[in-house]
Amino acid sequence: MRVLVIEDDAQLCGYLAKAFGEIGASVDLAENGRDGLFLAAGNRYDAMVVDRMLPELDGLAIIRTLRASGNPTPVLILSALGEVDHRVEGLRAGGDDYLVKPFAFSELHARIEALLRRATPGDAPVTHLSVADLELDLLKREVQRAGQPIALQPREFKLLEYLMRHAGQVVTRTMLLEHVWDYHFDPQTNVIDVHISRLRAKIDKDFEQPLLQTVRGAGYMLRAD
């Protein structure tokens, strides 16, 4: 995985380089907008992390320029501005995801993985998802495991669908709140954990192999290993 980081905070840059290095990704760094745009236009990256406020060239301007020239590289915007309208502005400019500072690296990593998955070509609309012996039919809205039907509440279905679409990836609690519940907010208690354990009770309890796993310090992952 090759990632371009355009960020003017040297300390954060160093940290990101080190952290990406540890998960085996190669990182190019740019400390201002102009260098960043040069690098992005002249190389192929799997993903880009762009700070919103940069010297010389604004982060949103870089993204607009890239998109105008037909560059489809998934972009994650980093910003200290976290209000909904800022987020909408960033996504309209062509960003694929928006992360507010300060953030945990595990969150950034999980989101970039999700972006990479989205970027892989899979043109035909998905109607059926499966992980190991767990199957989810999006048209009939049915779930079964090892041939046994499992009854789920609508929200549980949505939660499982999101986890299955990102099977094998870490999914953070914030990502779940944003995509399954569609609210940008800060729960004072880990309400998501309880939803996960309910879902787990339904899909894992009577089966030998647990599929829904907790990734400590990061979030959850659905996988068959």
| Contact with another protein (CB under 8 A) among 58, 119, 144, 181 | 181
DSSP code, position 55: S
Supply 56's token pair. 């010389």
- Round to whole Å and give the CA distance between 224 and 222: 7
Peptide bond into 102 cis (omega under 30): yes
CB of 83 to another protein, least distance (A): 6
CB 49 within 8 A of CB 78: yes
CB 6 within 8 A of CB 30: yes
Which CB atom, from 87 or from 165, has the smaller least distance to another protein?
Answer: 87
Site for another protein in 127-166 (CB under 8 A): 155
Which CB atom, from 205 or from 216, has the smaller least distance to another protein?
Answer: 216
Percent of residues in the chain assigned helix, strand, coil, to nearest 5 = 40, 20, 40
202 is a contact residue toward another protein (CB under 8 A): no
* CA nearest neighbour of 203 among 155, 153, 160: 160
- Round to whole Å and give the CA distance between 94 and 138: 28
103 is a contact residue toward another protein (CB under 8 A): yes
H or E segment and range at residue 163: helix 154-165
| Contact with another protein (CB under 8 A) among 158, 198, 200, 202 | 198
Give the x/- contact pattern for another protein in 206-225, rule: CB under 8 A: ----------xxxx------
Which CB atom, from 56 or from 83, has the smaller least distance to another protein?
Answer: 83
Which CB atom, from 41 or from 201, has the smaller least distance to another protein?
Answer: 201
Site for another protein in 12-31 (CB under 8 A): 12, 15, 18-19, 22
- Residue ranges in contact with another protein by CB under 8 A: 11-12, 15, 18-19, 22, 79-86, 99-107, 155, 172-174, 177, 181, 183-191, 193-195, 197-198, 216-219
